[in-house]
Amino acid sequence: MLQAPRRAGFSGPTLIRLLVRLTGNDAPESGQSLSAQLSQWLGWTEAIALSAALNGNPPASAARAAGAEEAECARVRTVLAAAIADDRAAGGRQRGRPRPAVPDPVDTVVDYAAFRQRYVTSQQTMETEIATLRGRLRTALAARASGMARLAMVDAVMERVLGAREQALLATIPGMLEAHFTRLRQAEEAALAGTRPTGVAAPVTPGAWLTVFQNDMQSVLRAELDLRYQPVEALLAALRDS
């Protein structure tokens, strides 16, 4: 079985820890506080928008039941998780973006392009569905007390300000996985040729590396889903308490 190198001593979100383990690259933790980092990311126009959201008077709107929002959040997360586990899941077909077929690694040379497209498609689906959920939850919060409505306004500003930065960072993941894909394939080729790199056990089944990679890619996608869902869970928790 092919094994990815393990790194020790790093703490952080599951997604980051997975990428550190799979790529073999250390990710030094930032010594800056969150507020210091935000001050670098916010321009003056974003700072004004955030100040207005914190100090303004939110508009009133009709109340919506928290139970309905919770059920919708659970439903969407189930669909997204199913799409990660199974490329043929309904969530992928509904948007008219069929996943590229992956060839048999024993009979053909497998190209990473199909996996890249599948990962990017999953990211696009998550981004669209989660953005819709956040908007729905903000609408529900806006119907509550002024403090909750103000929280909804702050979330809208933060999504607009930080969304582009988040997407740019997450867009680098397919490239990181390509390096892992290549390393696994080369390790198996070397093992089959009679040389056994560190971490590769014998005997080696031809094509086993691709199963390892697919499992790793699914793990990264699930971790990315967890990360993307954090704002949804925070808004949902605020809605329950309002």
Question: Quick one: average pLDDT of 133-154?
Answer: 85
Least confident of 18-32, 117-131, 217-231: 18-32
Flag whether 13 is in a domain.
Answer: no
Q: Which domain holds residue 104?
A: 44-241
Domain assignment present for residue 22? The answer is no
Residue bearing the bigger pLDDT, 6 or 220: 220
The confidence score (pLDDT) of residue 127 equals: 96
Burial 53-90 (b: 16+ CB within 10 A, else e): beeeebeeeeebebeebeeebeebbebbbebbeebebe
Q: Decide if 25 is inside a domain.
A: no
Print the SS3 string covering the chain.
CECCCCCCCCCCCHHHHHHHHHHCCCCCCCCCCHHHHHHHHCCHHHHHHHHHHHHCCCCCCCCCCHHHHHHHHHHHHHHHHHHHHCCCCHHHHHCCCCCCCCCCCCCCCCCCHHHHHHHHHHHHHHHHHHHHHHHHHHHHHHCCCHHHHHHHHHHHHHHHHHHHHHHHHHCCHHHHHHHHHHHHHHHHHHHHCCCCCCCECCCCCCCHHHHHHHHHHHHHHHHHHHHHHHHHHHHHHHHHHC
- On whether residue 143 sits in a domain, the answer given is yes
pLDDT surpasses 80 at 8: no
Higher pLDDT, 172 or 2: 172
Q: What does pTM read for this prediction?
A: 0.74
Query: What pLDDT score was predicted for residue 200?
Result: 52
pLDDT at 24: 76
Q: Which percentage of the chain shows pLDDT scores above 70?
A: 63
Whether the per-residue pLDDT at 116 is higher than 70: the answer is yes
Looking at residues 103-109, what average pLDDT do you find?
52
Q: Does residue 39 lie in a domain region?
A: no
Q: Is the pLDDT of residue 98 over 60?
A: no
- Compare 55 and 95 and report the one with higher pLDDT: 55
- Reply yes or no on whether the pLDDT at 221 is more than 80: yes
In a domain, 72, yes or no: yes
Q: Is residue 90 predicted with pLDDT exceeding 90?
A: no
Q: How confident is the model at residue 197 (pLDDT cuts 50, 70, 90)?
A: low
Residue 32 domain-assigned (yes or no): no
pLDDT band for 115, please (50, 70, 90 cuts): very high
- Does residue 143 register a pLDDT over 90? no
Considering its fold, how many domains does the chain have in total? 1
Q: Using pLDDT thresholds of 50, 70 and 90, give the confidence band for residue 107.
A: very low
The mean pLDDT value for 165-169 works out to 89
Residue 16 lies in a domain: no
pLDDT in tens, 25-82: 655 555 555 555 555 555 545 554 555 555 655 554 444 557 889 999 999 999 999 9
pLDDT at 38: 55
